Amino acid sequence: MTGPVVLDGKYELVEMAGEGGMASVWKAQVKGAAGFSRTVAIKKIKSEFRSIKNYTEMFIEEARVGSELAHPNIVQVYDFCVDPQGTYYIVMEWVEGMDLGGFVKAEREAGGRTPWPLVVVAAIGTLRGLAAAHERRRPDGSAAPIVHRDVSPHNILLGSNGAVKLTDFGLARARDRMVSLTAPGTVKGKLSYLSPEVAMGGQATPASDLFAMGAVMWESLTGERLFDGRSDLDVFKLIRQCIIRPLASYRDDLPAELIAIIERALAKEPADRFGSASSFAFMLGEVLRYAPPGGDPQLTLAQRVAEHRARLGARRMNQVINSDNVPTWTYEKPKATVPGVPSLKRDASPPPPPLSPASSIDIEIADPEPLGDSSDPIPLTTKKKKD
């Protein structure tokens, strides 16, 4: 490589920040006039998926939905581009911090459980972002709600400045979408955070997102899976039963009001949950009155995130210095017919282990042909998505 890789003449790649099943995320600098520079995130669909229509459509939809949601608690989408090889990438807001799953893990490794006020602060920010999606309106004022469908610790970003941001609307269900990207009889989302009605074959609704938020809070406070089984099939059955273990049996420092709020969010029937993300967030805000004295939980969250990032960053640097596993980008002669256009290619060497892996697998539950009488709305046959 003769120099830094610059996309579209202005997005200079700095380093890989993470990699998932369908896309990789890079930290980059956008260059402008008079020395202007800004840090952004580049989310790039993997080359092996760019020719698969359904994956490409989901990626395009993520960009479309994200661009229409301007809110402080949602990661902002700035641009949507395609490189010379025809690979799409999204230019997004960069959050200097870590995801909630990584934060909870770091708290545990530091020798303690996550303080409940910090979990509440993270939940309030996430719920405000969800409220903006659920209450979205078209330019004419008519309702056009967006259901996230993938609320999970991995998609809740915590900034070292105390910001809380909801990200990844790749599975979002928007009412104004021209066609559905989900085949009939298919359930999309992370298995651990599906709501009972979705697991029973119902449509995802804002109430489904609220259940997922309750599950995220429960797990962040206990350090355990809300629904834990020996197999995906066992977990799926437990979700349908929706038997919630009492939080009080795990922690004795939680206000009774907080326990009641989380239990309401995890109600089996959608009608028994909160009527909106806004009301859920409001009730959590009231619980913060019971937080132990000694500082603002939002500032404490920011300090803890910065401390964990510094510690984990040092560990990561020790792992990758002088290593052949550091991901890079190189120029090669273009295969396209347009002369003089360079192509981008990632080295084949594997990336270093992620700091905070996704909390659970992404799944699709396929609905096979019926085999006789069954009381199950969806036969329990699972099919994992490609990694």
Helix (H, G, I), strand (E, B) or coil at 31: strand
pLDDT band at 250 (very low <50, low <70, confident <90, very high): very high
- pLDDT of 192 strictly over 90: no
**Tens-place pLDDT, residues 48-63:** 887 788 888 888 888 9
List, in order of start, the domains of the chain with CATH numbers: 6-94+322-353 (3.30.200.20), 97-302 (1.10.510.10)
Question: What is the per-residue pLDDT for 265?
Answer: 98
| 8 catalytically annotated | no
**Tens-place pLDDT, residues 65-123:** 889 899 999 999 999 998 888 889 999 999 999 999 999 999 999 888 999 999 999 99
Higher pLDDT, 253 or 47: 253
| Number of helices and strands in the chain (H, E) | 9, 16
Residue by residue, DSSP assigns 287-339 as HGGGSPSSS-HHHHHHHHHHHHHHHHHHHHHHHHTT-TT---EEEE---SSST
Question: What is the per-residue pLDDT for 275?
Answer: 97
Question: What is the per-residue pLDDT for 173?
Answer: 67
The Cα–Cα gap between 183 and 172 comes to 14
Torsion of CA 56, 134, 18, 353, to 10 degrees: -110
User: pTM of the predicted model, to two decimals?
Assistant: 0.80
Higher pLDDT, 79 or 375: 79
**Tens-place pLDDT, residues 294-340:** 889 999 999 999 999 998 876 664 544 433 333 444 333 334 433 43
Helix or strand holding residue 216 (H, E): helix 206-222
pLDDT band at 175 (very low <50, low <70, confident <90, very high): low
Helix (H, G, I), strand (E, B) or coil at 40: strand
- One-letter identity of residue 170: G
Higher pLDDT, 288 or 232: 288
Which residue in the list 99, 150, 168, 232 is annotated as catalytic?
150
**Tens-place pLDDT, residues 219-246:** 999 999 999 888 888 998 999 999 999 9
Least confident of 160-169, 204-213, 309-318, 365-374: 365-374
Per-residue pLDDT averaged across 9-13, rounded?
Answer: 89
| 76 neighbors 70 (Cβ within 8 angstroms) | yes
Least confident of 106-110, 148-152, 367-371: 367-371
